[in-house]
Amino acid sequence: MTSKYKKLFTKFLKWRYRNISNKTFVHIMSLVVGFLAGLVAVTLKNFTYFIESLLKMGIIFSENQLYFILPIIGLALVFVYVKFVHKEPLQHAVSSIIFSLSKKKGLLRVKDIYTPLIAAPLTVGFGGSVGLLGPAVKSGSALSSNLSRLFHIDAKTRSLLVACASAGAIASIFQSPIAAIIFAVEVFTLDLTMLSMLPLLLASISGVLTSYFFLGNEALFSFSLSEGFQLKDTAFYILLGVGTAFASIYFTKMYFAIFSFFNRFKSPKYKLLVGGIAIGIMLYAIPPLYGEGFGFINNLLDGDHLQALGKTPFDAYTGNIWVVIALLFGITIFKAIAMTTTFAAGGAGGIFIPTMVMGSALGNVVAKVINNLGLGFAVSESNFTLIGMAGLIAGVIHAPLTAIFLIAEITGGYQLFVPLMITASISYLMTKNALDYTIYTKELSKIGALLTHDKDQMVLGLMEIDSVIEKNFSPVSPKMSLGQMLHDSVSKSKRNIFPVLDEKEKLMGIILLDDIRDFMFNTDLYDSVFVENLMHAPPEQIFYDSDSMKEIMQKFQDSGAWNLPVIKEGKYVGFISKSKLLTAYRRKLINYTG
């Protein structure tokens, strides 16, 4: 920005501070952020569909053999972009946003705006079995974060506007404003007060209107509800809830197992090659795994399972309904594998939409099994397809309310609200009991960066260890005499604790002033007693690289100490005092709760 524009912008900021209240400005920004996030979502969708339409020309999609090579091409293009432009590994979209909110005051980089708009369409357009929602949320959030920084918005409001961007992106993609708000609350753990509710609502409305403006009334799912809830089907919805819970646990564990397998390959090139070939093989056998999978879901909702399955090597047997059921169940199993393999091989995308695809297949399978067992039962396959999606969303990302309201809004009414509640709540409760973490949160929980609706845990997660480390302690050497220690350290220090360090700054022990108080004025001991004779081990140590603030607080509680040394990469760096820790905690709590 040139000096001329800087001056103009400075004048604008001054005018804004004088004439527009912070509350009003936040509301204006939420509308702008919602519009930009919606625009990002529309751009992402159109760019991806443009790539797919180019590939559909000719025989590429008429012959399954060419499915084999497309994912490798897409992943190779992403690899080249990441290596020469982005220059660092791609991060999971939602997890990186949560980390930013927790540890970076909602700050996201400029390149997080455009990288998802390039890497995700290349991944999905060439057959990568991932979704576009995560990249849309990441790009929109990065836009919001950088706009907030440009307008000198404080960290707490910036975090709210980042959540507004996610609501705008989701509202734009699904045209479901209520579910978009609830997603921001459940996943980014916002406190749903009037202070946060109105900006989220404005951003969500803005995102929906953006979608309508550019896409018209084009619905994501061409479905109209024909059958409502029937009491006699309650047991089957309970069964579906249990099934989606087990599928959610499988989905999550498979995700981490495949990543663990790919981590054995040190070179990204090997990951790309192995992952690309594996995806190509899966697409050849199961074409619906290609890309996001909205077409697959729509075909199931229309009752056309043969169109949903596409051309497969098993076409000769699809006249048998049990073969169809087996193929649909195969999609339930392999969607998780194809999605994770795409990520592990270097692709970019999200997990939300693959979760919906997997849930739709499972719900349809359950309905078909019930209808074809010959026991006289008949249920709506389209309803079970929809509710299966809700069950997987509730279980995989631990967001049951998002699942319920999203499917309710997709169906254009609340006739399925009761079965949605039954299935989503069962799936969530069973999955939550089996897994404390989600795909979004497991790695964040290890480093203490996880946001939670528990205010105590939330505040501890927001605290930074660097802000509470004190370094004004006088270190002493183990070979130092008592007299030298008193002259060089004790007499010049305002602290009553002294770390004992060797020549490599490794902590050997500590000495408290109370340890030497009884004989510190006995000059006969000054040359005969040494630090190594007086030092003792600290009651506990804090490890900078691995201890979360929750673990640090627990160490103070268990040890009863008032000061604990901090060790970083094997070296002493300072102390944390209980009083400073509690003061910092109180200040953060006051700031967080407003």
Task: Take residue 115 and report the two structure tokens written for it.
Answer: 């990288």
- Residue 546: what pLDDT? 82
Mean pLDDT of 389-394: 95
DSSP state of 264: T
Overall pTM > 0.85: no
**Would you say residue 295 has pLDDT above 60?**
yes
Q: pLDDT-derived band of residue 60, with 50, 70 and 90 as boundaries? A: very low
Examine residue 225 and state whether it is found in any structural domain, yes or no: no
**In terms of domains, do 335 and 198 share one?**
no
The answer to whether residue 224 is domain-embedded is no
Task: Tell me, yes or no, whether 479 and 494 share the same domain.
Answer: yes
What proportion of the chain, given as a percentage, has pLDDT over 90? 44
What stretches of 131-193 show up as alpha helix (H) in DSSP?
133-150, 155-174, 177-187
77-130 pLDDT per residue, tens: 999 999 999 888 888 888 888 888 877 888 899 999 999 999 999 999 998 899
User: Cα(262)–Cα(265) distance, rounded to whole angstroms?
Assistant: 6
Distance of CA 107 to the CA centre of its chain: 15
Tell me the three state secondary structure of residue 560.
coil
CA 93-95-99 angle, to 5 degrees, is 120
CATH, residue 380: 1.10.3080.10
Give me the domain span that covers residue 368: 231-451
Nearest residue to 331 via CA among 301, 364, 302: 364
Q: Is residue 89 part of a domain?
A: yes
Residue 119, CA atoms < 13 Å, CB-side half-sphere: 36
Q: In degrees rounded to 5, what are phi and psi of residue 572? A: -70, 135
pLDDT: which is higher, 435 or 13: 435
Of the ranges 2-11, 141-150, 293-302, 384-393, which one carries the lowest mean pLDDT score?
A: 2-11
Report the 3 state secondary structure along 396-416. Answer: HCCCHHHHHHHHHHHCCCCCC
Structure tokens at 364: 């349809």
Q: Mean per-residue pLDDT for 508-535?
A: 86
Q: What is the pLDDT of residue 462?
A: 67
- The last residue of a domain, from among 451, 472, 504: 451
The residue among 419, 427, 336 whose CA lies nearest residue 385 is 419
Same domain, 439 and 553: no
- Within a domain: residue 140? yes
Alpha helix (H) residue ranges in 104-152: 111-125, 133-150
Q: Distance between CA atoms of 499 and 485, rounded to whole angstroms?
A: 12
**Both 268 and 408 in a single domain?**
yes
Same domain for 179 and 36: yes
Query: 265 and 211, same structural domain?
Result: no
**Residue 527 backbone dihedrals phi, psi, to 5 degrees:** -105, -10
**Domain of residue 490, CATH code:** 3.10.580.10
Same domain, 184 and 268: no
Q: For residue 552, give both structure tokens.
A: 């640090």
Judgement on whether residues 236 and 160 belong to the same structural domain of the protein: no
Rounded to an integer, the average pLDDT of 460-489 is 85
Q: Are residues 427 and 568 in the same domain?
A: no
CA distances from 451 to 100, 249, 418 (A): 11, 21, 30
pLDDT at position 79: 93
Contact 466, 490 (CB under 8 A): no
Taking the C-alpha atoms of residue 175 and residue 212, their distance in angstroms, rounded to an integer, is 8
Taking residues 264-274, report their average pLDDT.
Answer: 89
Distance CA 55, CA 69 (A): 12
Give domain status of residue 2, yes or no. no
Could you say which of 384, 417, 451 is where a domain stops? Answer: 451
pLDDT, tens only, 199-213: 999 999 999 999 888
pLDDT band for 513, please (50, 70, 90 cuts): confident
Residues 43 and 183 in one domain: yes
In a domain? residue 72: yes
Give me the pLDDT at residue 593, please.
Answer: 58
End-to-end CA distance of the chain: 34
On whether both 445 and 465 belong to a single domain, the answer is: no
Q: How many domains does the chain have?
A: 3
**Is-contact 95 440, C-beta < 8 A?**
yes
259 and 277 share a domain?
A: yes
Nearest to 140 by CA among 42, 24, 214, 25: 42
- How does 489-499 read in b/e, with b if 16+ C-beta sit within 10 Å? bbeebebebbb
> Is 318 a member of any domain?
yes
The pLDDT confidence band at residue 59, using thresholds 50, 70 and 90, is very low
Using only C-alpha atoms, the chain has a radius of gyration, in whole angstroms, of 29
Rounded to whole angstroms, the Cα distance separating 591 from 594 reads 5
Share of the chain above pLDDT 70, in %: 91
Distance separating alpha carbons of residues 51 and 67, to the nearest angstrom: 14
Q: Is residue 195 part of a domain?
A: yes
Which among 395, 425, 451 is the end of a domain? 451
State the amino acid at position 9 in one-letter form.
F
